[in-house]
Chains A and B, each alone.
Chain A
Amino acid sequence: MKLHELTALEITQKIKARQVSAEEVLDAHLRRIEAVDGLPGRLDGDSSAEPSKVHAFITLTAERARAQARAVDEKLAAGQDLGPLAGVPVTVKDIFCVEDTPSTAASKILANFNAPYTATAVERMEAAGAVILGKVNLDEFTYGSSNESSAFQPAPRNPWDTSRVPGGSSGGSAASVAAYEAPLSLGTDTAGSIRQPAAFCGVVGMKPTYGRVSRYGLIAFGSSLDCPGPLSRTVADSALMLQTIAGADPRDATAVTVPVPDYVAELEKGVRGLKIGLSPEYFQITYLDAVTGKLETQPVPDVMKNAVLDAAQRLAAMGAEIVENVPMPHTRYGIPAYFVISRVEAASNLHRFDGVKYGYRAQAGITDLRSMYRRTRAEAFGPQPKLRILMGMYVSAAQYSEQYYNRALRVRSLLRRDFDEAFAKVDLLLTPTTPTSAFPIGGLYGDSVLMQYADQLTVPGNHAGVPGISIPAGLDADGLPIGIQFLGPDFSEDIILRASRAYEVATESESWRQAKPALAE
């Protein structure tokens, strides 16, 4: 087994057993990155450069990582206790601040910003012995589902087929894990931004309960929706990482004080007695036809539906009770409500990027304060932030907020009620993660409404604040990964992880489990 193919758990075990040093593990991953990642994303970079490479990174912090790896090795040599992530290489979505490291949000406006402090989730991983490899690419400010909107090009590509997108917005995270550049990555999920790229890249991605993981240091998109969470190749690794990053934080008032269970210890307890629900609303996509304005419904492709039904059968065989036809009547309102709520929050969250304190400031044509604001924001925000600012400003204006924003908040309560009623009957919901597998680069970019339907099955969980996971469930006819999703009630991460692990066990001998992305080294 090659070192870079080890899971995080295996790495910690081998380091503790002194079979390998943290620095050797780091070197193996740095070599892998060198071999498959290609050019890092940079401002004004060529989007079509090196089309067979992964391009997950914006900033590789190899020196910082080496210092951390050596510290682990020295601790071990000194006989000191090692943390639960000792020596595990981790990539971090470049939406988190890490002290003295460029923290760009994949935007020109923050391209020169070195954060003066470290995000809580990163700080906790570092304290647990993790080795932070660097910052990986994303859609600008997380606004997208493909990574194509990054101001840092080339954008990440899907390791399974580099002509396709890795998904987004945590595309660099998912791609780096799928390409064996790191066993773990820290992502964020506002409407599906961990789960959808995880599904596209054939990895595990978990969106925890809102408030389970501190948002301190996460450059905000939709503050009431954003959740940091793990991406990994195995369920156990996500459990291990969540264990480390979860918990109350005195710097985040919305981080909850609910105790963090031992997710790893719970993993193998199986699904016997669990009630797992299937919902008809999650086997279809409902959308407004852009031309006719009519509400249209399309079933998800059979391959997605069959993956869910197959999983249900396997779990039933392991003792779970499958409950069909769990109604989730408001699912189709998830995206419109998300469009309004997330954009109001986003527009406000982007106010601080004004050229005054940090980041980009326009130099030419400045006549007064207003022109400095206007030019700075016009020159340094890409199309996605601009669209979101426009819409967010519009729907929160005094004369429209009742019609849009307040109405969207009421819809959000209805979505929450769907989950409350479902979880009164079942322990978990099992659904497809996405309506499609990874789409071709350039395929949907620019049509942001249609691209957002990639989130229709994931965004209700963000509205409701409930936890969800996407786990690999096979390959489609094109050899592209597909994902299935578990959703559970607040703080049911332990149960979700258990069920996910059970499915992993049940499919252990399937041939797709052995498949790996074929990347030229």
Chain B
Amino acid sequence: MDYEVVIGLETHIQLNTQTKIFCACKADSWNDAPNTNICPVCTGMPGVLPVLNRTVVEKGVLLAVAMNADTPPVSYFDRKNYFYPDLPKGFQISQFDCSLAKGGWLDLPMPATDKDPAYVRRVRIHKLHIEEDAGKTKNESVGGYSRRLIDFNRCGVPLVEMVTEPDLRSADEAAQYLTRLRQLLRWIGVSEADMEKAHLRCDANVSIRPVGADYLNTKTEIKNVNSIEAVRAAITKEVERQKAEYAAGRKIESWTLEWDEDSQSLKKMRSKETEADYRYFREPDLLPVYLSDAWKAEILAGFPELPLARRARFISAYGLPEYDADILTGERSLSDYFEQAIAAYGGDPKRASNWLLNDVMRLLNESGLTAGELKLTPAYLAKIIKLVDDGIINTNTGKSLLEKVNRSGQSPDEIVETEGLAKVSDDSALRAVAESIVAENPKEVESYKSGKVGLMGWFVGQLMRQMGGKADAPKARAIFEELLQ
């Protein structure tokens, strides 16, 4: 039987605010010793109260708008009650029925493969809300007894929980969703979205059904997938398992599975018998969040063109291939750089794209900087390409000039001027050097004249070396051809 894969993803996104959601502790505890970034509020001491960090709302609204969701004028916080040692209050402050955002979707561009043409998958958002993170529990065994160690540093770190509808149809689509989500989060500046650092966490709900069916079969939930590749691999494995189960006439049970990165396999964590009752009710310690039109306008001032829209525009407006457009919009600073460079350049965008993809990308990779941080500004890059186009310098000089400009921050013109890099196309200067080469190398002249015309490259190369690479090569060739007749 042919099966269709049905996937929904639940993501937790750590917002990159300075401080935690309800207290003044710093939000990021990466590399901090356990329980060093805590206070009475985030450790749930008796009598403490939460006070909302407005930046969390602002970043949540940015994401909601970027996901094409509605943002109601008022939303509420609710308590989600459950016991766990790393949840110090015994409830998580979250949002339940009236959350920051309603609806939303993301259109995923799926590239063509050997089997299928390119297509777009629309993924609808089931819910999007803000909440606080819990702490971390580490289980260890000491002398035959197991014990739990709790680190509260992460308590109160602001999160957006975003859950898709079961709209994804393959492991590739799931991976593409995460890739595009990560790109979007960084683009709008709400999260570092580093999966290895758990800034972006993903649980995948997976089921399969006969092609053409419109019902949903029992799903399993895969937890602890910490990279996009792991999500792809885990889903692929789980789909294979489910197919095998059905083929063997068995049923899929509603398990929670854990992905083991080392063995690249899924392990059963628990059976889900009943839904937990979290006894949600409105958080009485926080006021409703009133998102006024004025506040929303302030949040959205300077809202950027989003990566997928920009990608489409690069293709249509600049005639770039999809490949170029994808890379150039991979990161916001690079795409801004590209647009500024082609505005300054005025020539063929594809030519500017080539320079960027080959040479500027290498500078970025080597330095670890973003495009906007380079000393090689878009205007300087444009100038260098023009110098090459106009025959003032040759391509190789252009490429080394790129690095010199980026090292010094000096303008390309200045460097060309002070280092005398301009191409020598003065006939008499070239002729003088060519004549001396011909005079000093009688053997090569002899060979050439006897028919080894391939030596022309050697003659031009000699001249180039003597002139520090600045010679106009076609002109030099013409002079040699004349001298060696």
C-alpha gap A97/B44 in the complex (Å): 13
Known A253-B51, A351-B83, A373-B83; contact A97-B90, beta-carbon cutoff 8 A: no
Give chain B nearest CB distance to A472 CB in angstroms.
31
Give chain B nearest CB distance to A399 CB in angstroms.
8
A352 touches B90 (CB 8 A): yes
List CB contacts (< 8 Å) of A111-128 with chain B.
113, 115-117, 119
Indicate whether A475 reaches chain B with its CB closer than 8 angstroms: no
A116 touches B40 (CB 8 A): yes
Give chain B nearest CB distance to A352 CB in angstroms.
5
Known A223-B284, A224-B284, A348-B79; contact A252-B45, beta-carbon cutoff 8 A: no
C-alpha gap A96/B148 in the complex (Å): 31
Known A351-B81, A373-B83; contact A253-B44, beta-carbon cutoff 8 A: no
Known A105-B46, A117-B40, A253-B50; contact A352-B89, beta-carbon cutoff 8 A: yes
Q: Quick check: which of A3-11, A44-52, A210-218 contacts chain B, the rest being far away?
A: A210-218
Indicate whether B355 reaches chain A with its CB closer than 8 angstroms: no
Residue of B43, B45, B85, B148 most packed against chain A (CB within 10 A): B45
C-alpha gap A105/B281 in the complex (Å): 24
> B41-54: contact bitstring with A at CB < 8 Å (1 yes, 0 no)?
10111111111100
Q: Quick check: which of A22-30, A354-362, A451-459 contacts chain B, the rest being far away?
A: A354-362
Indicate whether A241 reaches chain B with its CB closer than 8 angstroms: no
Which of chain B's residues have a CB closer than 8 A to the CB of A251? 41, 48-49, 51
A216 touches B281 (CB 8 A): no
Which of chain B's residues have a CB closer than 8 A to the CB of A397? 277, 279
C-alpha gap A251/B148 in the complex (Å): 31
For residue B152, which residue of chain A has the nearest CB?
A357
C-alpha gap A113/B285 in the complex (Å): 23
> A271-305: contact bitstring with B at CB < 8 Å (1 yes, 0 no)?
00000000000000000000000000000000000
B49 touches A215 (CB 8 A): yes
For residue A95, which residue of chain B has the nearest CB?
B47
C-alpha gap A223/B44 in the complex (Å): 15
B85 touches A254 (CB 8 A): no
Which of chain A's residues have a CB closer than 8 A to the CB of B83? 351, 354, 373
For residue A350, which residue of chain B has the nearest CB?
B90
Which of chain A's residues have a CB closer than 8 A to the CB of B47? 96-97, 103, 115, 119, 215-220
Indicate whether B478 reaches chain A with its CB closer than 8 angstroms: no
> A234-257: contact bitstring with B at CB < 8 Å (1 yes, 0 no)?
000000000000000011111000
Give chain B nearest CB distance to A339 CB in angstroms.
15
Indicate whether B299 reaches chain A with its CB closer than 8 angstroms: no
Give chain B nearest CB distance to A387 CB in angstroms.
17
Indicate whether A312 reaches chain B with its CB closer than 8 angstroms: no
Indicate whether A110 reaches chain B with its CB closer than 8 angstroms: yes
Give chain A nearest CB distance to B24 CB in angstroms.
9
Known A115-B47, A253-B285, A348-B79; contact A393-B90, beta-carbon cutoff 8 A: no
Indicate whether A17 reaches chain B with its CB closer than 8 angstroms: no
Indicate whether A344 reaches chain B with its CB closer than 8 angstroms: yes
Give chain A nearest CB distance to B287 CB in angstroms.
6
Give chain B nearest CB distance to A251 CB in angstroms.
6
A354 touches B90 (CB 8 A): yes
Indicate whether B103 reaches chain A with its CB closer than 8 angstroms: no
Which of chain A's residues have a CB closer than 8 A to the CB of B40? 116-117
C-alpha gap A347/B280 in the complex (Å): 12
Indicate whether B448 reaches chain A with its CB closer than 8 angstroms: no
Which of chain B's residues have a CB closer than 8 A to the CB of A477? none
Indicate whether B286 reaches chain A with its CB closer than 8 angstroms: yes
C-alpha gap A105/B45 in the complex (Å): 13
C-alpha gap A242/B150 in the complex (Å): 41
A357 touches B46 (CB 8 A): no
Which of chain B's residues have a CB closer than 8 A to the CB of A215? 47, 49, 285
Which of chain B's residues have a CB closer than 8 A to the CB of A218? 47
List CB contacts (< 8 Å) of A387-444 with chain B.
393, 396-398, 401, 405
Indicate whether B91 reaches chain A with its CB closer than 8 angstroms: yes
B88 touches A352 (CB 8 A): yes
C-alpha gap A115/B47 in the complex (Å): 10
C-alpha gap A397/B43 in the complex (Å): 26
Which of chain A's residues have a CB closer than 8 A to the CB of B45? 97, 115-117, 358
Which of chain B's residues have a CB closer than 8 A to the CB of A223? 284-285
For residue A395, which residue of chain B has the nearest CB?
B279
Known A215-B49, A252-B49; contact A352-B44, beta-carbon cutoff 8 A: yes
Which of chain B's residues have a CB closer than 8 A to the CB of A113? 46
Indicate whether A369 reaches chain B with its CB closer than 8 angstroms: yes
Give chain A nearest CB distance to B92 CB in angstroms.
10
C-alpha gap A376/B273 in the complex (Å): 27
> A70-101: contact bitstring with B at CB < 8 Å (1 yes, 0 no)?
00000000000000000000000000110000
Which of the residues B46, B48, B279 comes within 8 Å of A396, measured between beta carbons? B279
Give chain A nearest CB distance to B25 CB in angstroms.
13
B287 touches A369 (CB 8 A): no
C-alpha gap A458/B280 in the complex (Å): 28
Which of chain B's residues have a CB closer than 8 A to the CB of A140? none
Which of chain B's residues have a CB closer than 8 A to the CB of A253? 49-52, 285-287
C-alpha gap A354/B50 in the complex (Å): 20
Which of the residues A252, A357, A398 comes within 8 Å of B279, measured between beta carbons? A398
C-alpha gap A131/B83 in the complex (Å): 39
> B17-51: contact bitstring with A at CB < 8 Å (1 yes, 0 no)?
00000000000000000000000110111111111
Give chain B nearest CB distance to A49 CB in angstroms.
28
Give chain A nearest CB distance to B278 CB in angstroms.
8
Which of chain A's residues have a CB closer than 8 A to the CB of B287? 253-254
C-alpha gap A177/B44 in the complex (Å): 32
Which of chain A's residues have a CB closer than 8 A to the CB of B51? 250-253
A103 touches B46 (CB 8 A): yes
B281 touches A97 (CB 8 A): no
C-alpha gap A356/B134 in the complex (Å): 14
Which of the residues A216, A350, A354 comes within 8 Å of B49, measured between beta carbons? A216
C-alpha gap A224/B44 in the complex (Å): 18
Which of chain A's residues have a CB closer than 8 A to the CB of B284? 222-224, 254, 345
Give chain B nearest CB distance to A350 CB in angstroms.
8
Give chain B nearest CB distance to A361 CB in angstroms.
12
For residue B285, which residue of chain A has the nearest CB?
A223
Which of chain B's residues have a CB closer than 8 A to the CB of A345? 281, 284
B285 touches A254 (CB 8 A): yes
C-alpha gap A350/B285 in the complex (Å): 15
B281 touches A348 (CB 8 A): yes
Which of chain B's residues have a CB closer than 8 A to the CB of A405? 281
**Could you tell me which A residues sit within 8 Å of B by CB distance?**
96-97, 103, 105, 110, 113, 115-117, 119, 215-220, 222-224, 250-254, 344-345, 347-348, 350-354, 356-358, 369, 373, 393, 396-398, 401, 405
Given A216-B48, A218-B47, A253-B286, 18 other A-B residues pairs in contact with their CB atoms under 8 A: A116-B45, A117-B45, A117-B48, A119-B47, A215-B47, A217-B48, A222-B284, A223-B284, A252-B49, A253-B50, A253-B51, A352-B90, A353-B46, A354-B83, A354-B90, A356-B88, A396-B281, A405-B281
**Could you tell me which B residues sit within 8 Å of A by CB distance?**
40-41, 43-52, 79, 81, 83, 85, 88-91, 148, 150, 277, 279, 281, 284-287
- List, sorted by A's number, 16 A–B pairs whose CB atoms are closer than 8 Å: A115-B47, A215-B49, A216-B48, A218-B47, A224-B284, A250-B51, A252-B285, A253-B50, A253-B285, A253-B287, A351-B90, A352-B44, A352-B46, A358-B46, A393-B279, A398-B277
Interchain residue pairs A-B with the least CB separation, the first 6: A351-B90, A224-B284, A223-B284, A396-B279, A219-B46, A217-B47
